[in-house]
Amino acid sequence: MALRSRILGCGAYLPSRVVSNAELSTRVDTTDEWIVQRTGIRQRHVAADGELTSDLAVAAARGALAAGGVSADALDLIVLATTTPDHTFPATATKVQAALGMTGGAAFDVQAVCAGFIFALAVADNFLRLGQARKALVIGAETFSRLLDWNDRGTCVLFGDGAGAVLLGAEEAADNKARGILSTHLHTDGRTYDLLYVDGGPSSTGQVGKVRMDGQGVFRHAVGKLAAAVDEALAANGLVASDVDWLVPHQANQRIIDGMARKLGLGPERVVSTVARHANTSAASIPLALAEAAGDGRLKPGQIVLMEGIGGGLAWGSCLARW
């Protein structure tokens, strides 16, 4: 019998400080109206001084372990998606491993910016399906505020901090109706590297750097690439758009989310959207949205859940799951 990764629990953490659009408009030349109309974002959470990506990740991880009823010593894998590691090395995942009290197995980071959670989920799913791990935590955690140029109104209004986590367990799948991850599909196109990047790094400037973005360029690629990834996922599983119960997209911009929902023919009541309250939390956005919808009972066992995301690289992908 084939192994499948089932999602056993979700966790989330958002820093307590909330920054409204009105507060941002006292720092840069912007308005609440402009931000809401172009993005749907109304506020974002920002980590406190000294609050690190690993702190956010540990809080979300503890939530996922509690929701799944699994203790950290049963874990044999942590895959942490982040663009904002505590340090250039070691992997932030190893700090999380120690904080959770997990002493065996392996923990490492994956970097695919806003698509990072989908990439991390794909890596962990493959470990579980191959029998190389039995219980895995997949975490998306970001202190993206630390990469922002707070004088650039084109980017500083878009992002926020947070973390989300899912606990995966390998289970025998009797047939295709078994719950768990059905497929993951990953893509990158390095020719679009300059559309969205950080202008620093250990090997280039020796400084951390700040986010630089061609917003319209990213927007132009987003819906087309995501739509193709979704078509690919549905076709691989012999499903059609109307089979999807929930779209849980990367939360970058409500207009991109609406474009994807229209393409799938899904009404807003079938789309999990947190972008108004969280803004774009990069790799954390999908697991934060999953944790919210799982926590309030929207996601029900057996439902088809479609996750998709795109970010710097460009990197994009999808995950289709039976909840």
Positions annotated as catalytic residues are: 114, 250, 280
Give dist(CA 132, CA 5) in Å, integer.
12
Nearer to ligand ACO, 120 or 252 (CB): 252
Nearer to ligand ACO, 108 or 219 (CB): 219
Binders of ligand ACO among residues 80 to 99 (CB under 6 A) are none
Based on the shown chain and the rule CB under 6 A, indicate whether residue 216 belongs to the binding site for ligand ACO: yes
Among 200, 209, 215, 295, indicate the residue that binds ligand ACO (CB under 6 A). 215
Binders of ligand ACO among residues 149 to 168 (CB under 6 A) are 153-154, 157-158
- Residue nearest ligand ACO, CB atom distance: 215
Residue 37 CA: distances (Å) to CA of 40, 71, 74, 223, 293: 6, 44, 46, 18, 25
Give dist(CA 164, CA 49) in Å, integer.
20
Interacting stretch for ligand ACO, rule CB under 6 A, among 32-40, 161-169, 173-181, 296-304? 32-40
Could you tell me the smallest distance in angstroms from the CB atom of residue 30 to ligand ACO? 3
Q: Which helix (H) or strand (E) holds 45?
A: strand 43-46
User: Is 101:72 a contact under the CB 8 Å cutoff?
Assistant: yes
Interacting stretch for ligand ACO, rule CB under 6 A, among 44-52, 73-81, 103-111, 211-219? 211-219
Could you tell me the smallest distance in angstroms from the CB atom of residue 156 to ligand ACO? 8
Give dist(CA 318, CA 323) in Å, integer.
15
Residues binding ligand ACO: what is the number (CB under 6 A)?
Answer: 23
Interacting stretch for ligand ACO, rule CB under 6 A, among 60-68, 133-141, 165-173, 218-226? 218-226
Based on the shown chain and the rule CB under 6 A, indicate whether residue 187 belongs to the binding site for ligand ACO: no
Nearer to ligand ACO, 152 or 245 (CB): 152
Give CA 161 to chain center in angstroms.
Answer: 12
> 273, 323, 318, 322: which is closest to 121 by C-alpha?
318
What pairs with residue 244 in β-bridges? none
Give dist(CA 164, CA 282) in Å, integer.
11
Based on the shown chain and the rule CB under 6 A, indicate whether residue 218 belongs to the binding site for ligand ACO: yes
Interacting stretch for ligand ACO, rule CB under 6 A, among 35-43, 136-144, 239-247, 257-265? 35-43
User: Is 80:119 a contact under the CB 8 Å cutoff?
Assistant: no
Residue 316 CA: distances (Å) to CA of 17, 87, 115, 224, 308: 30, 25, 5, 11, 8
User: Is 30:122 a contact under the CB 8 Å cutoff?
Assistant: no
Give dist(CA 36, CA 275) in Å, integer.
10
Based on the shown chain and the rule CB under 6 A, indicate whether residue 284 belongs to the binding site for ligand ACO: no
Nearer to ligand ACO, 167 or 264 (CB): 264
Based on the shown chain and the rule CB under 6 A, indicate whether residue 32 belongs to the binding site for ligand ACO: no
- For ligand ACO, the binding residues (CB under 6 A) are 30, 34-35, 38-39, 114, 153-154, 157-158, 196, 213, 215-216, 218-219, 222, 250, 252-253, 280, 310-311
